[in-house]
């Protein structure tokens, strides 16, 4: 059974090896520059967008190699796909120092407008892609639509979820809530015992070259390229962009010394992330930042890895220690201030780990064991996952008390991480709910491919959820729905009246041609702070 790391793996000698580096890319005979990793855009503003690509100037300049000459890359933005109405253009230089990735932070664009962009290097033209700017800050926006995804393990399957989102053609943007990639070596993390397609490099990633190779491998996926070419991404990181259960001083999946310095590994992971993702480095070089979409919604994006205290066990009382934090003081104050001063109808929060309480004490042993493995819990029956807000209850109490004190309404947490789909109220007091009030709502999307409970137990899809979901809901009366077994994605549709999450599931994560079907929809109406089921997707 795939499990979290329990033994020390010796560091692989020679971090940059020709074979795994070359394996990250398809073979290519021509020496002309090539755009092998697609193009992307992100972090839409009312007047601008961040463009990204990676150029391979010569065949040996594969990701992580440090090889290849400086290459001038021209970017162009137009109002039409044929590029007859060009509105902006410029040049950037791709260098080995940035792994030949380039970004262009384009400004001077019109709000709420579709644009097309492409790159040119040495006579080679990249694919063209669509992007979209955010509405003007004071615009009366009738609606917004975001794709929502999390947790994409390359080895466990194909990224059909991305293909189905790309095919919609109606997204203002898409949110990636963390675990865009995984750090494990081949066969070390959940695949139901079958590696569908191997990682590159094959070993666990620890060095800057390693992380660059892994990012490069992911960016060769055609479905991921299609989604990046269809709409701008708004991304935050979680732990697996670094290592499992990461915190500033280390990670569960890192052994200091035997696997090098954690500080060096963390720096390498962050550097490669900002090189390979169309994300603006935000406050203190992290991913917490805020975007606004007219007067309809603002989106506060959290970084719940860079400032947290180390995870603790529940039995020692550490989860309630007021000196421990998940957000860090500065980020908590920033979040509270943004929620309090917001003048939009909806306050969306991009949140990498669940904030709604999750008690599992009523589960039977046969279900508790695989759930504990999925969450990284001891198998003796702990009630909470201490890697999420349940392990930092003082932070959660402070934030929810702030919502109550200032009568802040319409706060919706959008969450990934747990490899299950959830629709929940976020109660002030879970013990007395529903007699007490709800502070907010939370929509959690399942994984794109990463193992969920039926995968860990190696049983037919739906078997575990049929038993576990009623038990979870019985112990957590604020939970309206949980699906422990299926993979897929969400589509968040927001109007002035309601915020609705439509949940979609894949037919088979191991198939590139997997179909997608609507599973359920839940919404929260403006002013209610309560989740209700909807019987039709938007």
Comparing 190 with 144, the larger pLDDT belongs to: 144
Give the distance, in angstroms, between the CA of residue 333 and the centroid of all CA atoms in the same chain.
Answer: 23
| pLDDT, mean of residues 304-330 | 89
Q: Which of 57-66, 83-92, 158-167, 317-326 has the lowest mean pLDDT?
A: 317-326
Check residue 513 and report its DSSP letter: T
Please determine, for residue 4, whether its predicted confidence score (pLDDT) is greater than 50. no
What is the predicted pLDDT for the residue at 193? 85
What is the predicted pLDDT for the residue at 33? 96
| pLDDT, mean of residues 319-325 | 91
Please determine, for residue 5, whether its predicted confidence score (pLDDT) is greater than 60. no
Q: How many helices (H) and strands (E) does the chain have?
A: 10, 22
Would you state the structure tokens that stand for residue 409, as one six-digit string?
Answer: 């309404």
DSSP three-state, residue 104: strand
Class of the CATH domain delimited by 144-534:
alpha beta
Please determine, for residue 17, whether its predicted confidence score (pLDDT) is greater than 60. no
Sheet holding 289-293, edge to edge: 289-293, 297-301, 346-351, 411-415, 438-444, 421-427, 479-483
d(CA 94, CA 74): 10
How does pLDDT run across 24-61, given as a tens digit for each residue? 445 444 578 999 999 999 999 999 999 999 999 999 99
What is the predicted pLDDT for the residue at 260? 95
Q: Which residues, other chains included, contact 70 with Cβ-Cβ below 8 Å and sequence gap of 6+? A: 93, 94, 95, 96
Q: Which residues, other chains included, contact 407 with Cβ-Cβ below 8 Å and sequence gap of 6+? A: none
Confidence of residue 313 (pLDDT cuts 50, 70, 90): confident
Please determine, for residue 9, whether its predicted confidence score (pLDDT) is greater than 70. no
d(CA 426, CA 419): 19
| pLDDT, mean of residues 225-246 | 98
How does pLDDT run across 170-216, given as a tens digit for each residue? 999 999 999 999 999 999 998 888 999 999 999 999 999 999 999 99
What's the 3-state SS for 408-428? Answer: CCCEEEEECCCCCEEEEEEEC
Q: Count how many Cα atoms sit within 13 Å of the Cα of residue 64 in the half-sphere of its side chain.
A: 31
What is the predicted pLDDT for the residue at 368? 58
Please determine, for residue 284, whether its predicted confidence score (pLDDT) is greater than 90. no
- Considering only CA atoms, which of 447, 400, 137 is closest in space to residue 290? 137
How does pLDDT run across 462-511, given as a tens digit for each residue? 888 888 899 889 889 999 999 999 999 999 999 999 999 999 999 999 99
The fraction of the chain above a pLDDT of 70, given in percent, is: 89
CATH superfamily of 32-132: Purple acid phosphatase-like, N-terminal (2.60.40.380)
- Considering only CA atoms, which of 416, 479, 472 is closest in space to residue 449? 416
Judge contact between 266 and 311, C-beta under 8 A.
Answer: no
Angle 135-138-142 from CA coordinates, rounded to 5°: 55
DSSP three-state, residue 233: strand
DSSP three-state, residue 20: helix
- Residue ranges of the chain that CATH labels 2.60.40.380: 32-132
| pLDDT, mean of residues 243-269 | 96
d(CA 354, CA 360): 14
What is the predicted pLDDT for the residue at 366? 59
Confidence of residue 320 (pLDDT cuts 50, 70, 90): confident
Q: Which of 202-216, 332-346, 356-370, 380-394 has the lowest mean pLDDT?
A: 356-370
Residue that is written with structure tokens 């001891």 in the block: 378
What is the predicted pLDDT for the residue at 191? 85
Check residue 391 and report its DSSP letter: G
Q: Compute the radius of gyration of the chain from its Cα atoms.
A: 22
Angle 41-47-50 from CA coordinates, rounded to 5°: 20
Please determine, for residue 240, whether its predicted confidence score (pLDDT) is greater than 80. yes
Please determine, for residue 431, whether its predicted confidence score (pLDDT) is greater than 80. yes
Torsion sign over Cα 310, 315, 321, 326: positive
Confidence of residue 367 (pLDDT cuts 50, 70, 90): low
Please determine, for residue 442, whether its predicted confidence score (pLDDT) is greater than 60. yes
What is the predicted pLDDT for the residue at 283? 75
What is the predicted pLDDT for the residue at 285? 79
Comparing 7 with 312, the larger pLDDT belongs to: 312
DSSP three-state, residue 462: coil
What is the predicted pLDDT for the residue at 385? 84
Confidence of residue 379 (pLDDT cuts 50, 70, 90): very low
d(CA 33, CA 120): 9
Confidence of residue 11 (pLDDT cuts 50, 70, 90): very low
What's the 3-state SS for 284-349? Answer: HHCCCEEEEECCCEEEEECCCCCCCCCCCCCCCCHHHCCCCCCCCHHHHHHHHHHHHHCCCCEEEE
d(CA 368, CA 382): 9
What is the predicted pLDDT for the residue at 384? 59
DSSP string, 488-503: EEEEEEE-SSEEEEEE
Q: Does a cis peptide bond (omega within 30 degrees of 0) precede residue 160?
A: no
- Considering only CA atoms, which of 470, 144, 508 is closest in space to residue 294? 144
- Considering only CA atoms, which of 251, 264, 350 is closest in space to residue 305? 251
Q: Does a cis peptide bond (omega within 30 degrees of 0) precede residue 434?
A: yes
What is the predicted pLDDT for the residue at 3? 37
- Give kind and range of the element (H or E) at residue 149: strand 144-149
Q: Which of 140-144, 251-255, 364-368, 398-402 has the lowest mean pLDDT?
A: 364-368
Would you state the structure tokens that stand for residue 448, as one six-digit string?
Answer: 């794109």
What is the predicted pLDDT for the residue at 314? 65
The fraction of the chain above a pLDDT of 90, given in percent, is: 80
What value does the mean pLDDT of the chain take?
90
d(CA 471, CA 462): 15
Residue that is written with structure tokens 């594969």 in the block: 62
Comparing 321 with 203, the larger pLDDT belongs to: 203
């Amino acid at each position: 059974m795939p499990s979290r790391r329990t033994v020390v793996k010796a560091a692989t000698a020679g971090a940059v090896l020709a074979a795994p580096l070359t394996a990250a890319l398809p073979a290519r005979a021509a020496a002309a520059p090539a755009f092998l990793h697609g193009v992307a855009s992100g972090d839409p503003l009312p007047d601008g967008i961040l463009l990204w690509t990676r150029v391979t100037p010569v065949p040996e300049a594969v990701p992580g190699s440090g090889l290849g000459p400086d290459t001038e890359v021209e970017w162009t933005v137009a109002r039409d796909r044929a590029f007859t109405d060009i509105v902006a253009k410029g040049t950037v230089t791709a260098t080995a120092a940035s792994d030949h990735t380039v970004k262009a932070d384009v400004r001077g664009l019109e709000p709420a407008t579709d644009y097309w962009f492409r790159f040119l290097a040495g006579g080679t033209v990249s694919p063209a892609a669509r992007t979209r700017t955010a509405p003007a800050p004071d615009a009366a926006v009738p609606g917004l639509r975001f794709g929502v995804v999390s947790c994409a393990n390359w080895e466990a399957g194909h990224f059909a979820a991305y293909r189905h989102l790309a095919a919609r053609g109606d997204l203002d943007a898409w949110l990636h809530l963390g675990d865009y990639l995984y750090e494990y070596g081949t066969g070390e993390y959940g695949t139901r015992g079958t590696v569908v397609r191997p990682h590159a490099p094959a070993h666990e990633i620890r060095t800057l070259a390693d992380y660059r190779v892994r990012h490069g491998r992911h960016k060769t996926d055609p479905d991921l390229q299609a989604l990046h070419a269809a709409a701008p991404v708004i991304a935050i990181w979680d732990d697996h962009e670094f290592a499992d259960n990461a915190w500033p001083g280390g990670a569960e999946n890192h052994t200091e010394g035997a696997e090098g310095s954690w500080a060096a590994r963390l720096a390498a992971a962050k550097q490669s992330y900002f090189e390979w993702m169309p994300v603006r480095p935000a406050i203190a070089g992290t991913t917490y930042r805020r975007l606004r979409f007219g007067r309809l919604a603002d989106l506060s994006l959290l970084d719940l890895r860079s400032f947290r205290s180390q995870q603790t066990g529940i039995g020692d009382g550490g989860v309630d220690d007021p000196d421990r934090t998940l957000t860090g003081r500065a980020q908590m104050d920033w979040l509270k201030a943004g929620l309090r001063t917001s003048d939009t109808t909806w306050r969306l929060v991009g949140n990498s780990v669940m904030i709604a309480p999750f008690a599992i004490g009523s589960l039977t042993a046969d279900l508790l064991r695989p759930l504990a493995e999925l969450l990284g819990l001891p198998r003796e029956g702990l009630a909470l996952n201490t890697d999420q807000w349940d392990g930092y209850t003082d932070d959660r109490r402070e934030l929810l008390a702030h919502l109550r004190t200032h009568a802040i309404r319409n706060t919706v947490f959008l969450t990934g991480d747990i490899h299950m789909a959830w629709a929940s109220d976020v109660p002030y007091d879970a013990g007395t709910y529903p007699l007490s009030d709800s502070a907010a709502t939370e929509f959690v999307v399942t994984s794109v491919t990463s193992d969920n409970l039926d995968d860990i137990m190696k049983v037919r899809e739906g078997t575990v959820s049929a038993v576990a979901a009623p038990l979870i809901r019985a112990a957590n009366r604020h939970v309206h729905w949980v699906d422990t077994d299926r993979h897929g994605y969400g589509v968040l549709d927001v109007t002035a009246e309601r915020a609705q999450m439509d949940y979609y599931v894949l037919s088979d994560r191991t198939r590139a041609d997997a179909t997608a079907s609507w599973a359920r929809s839940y919404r929260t109406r403006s002013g209610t702070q309560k989740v209700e089921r909807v019987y039709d997707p938007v």
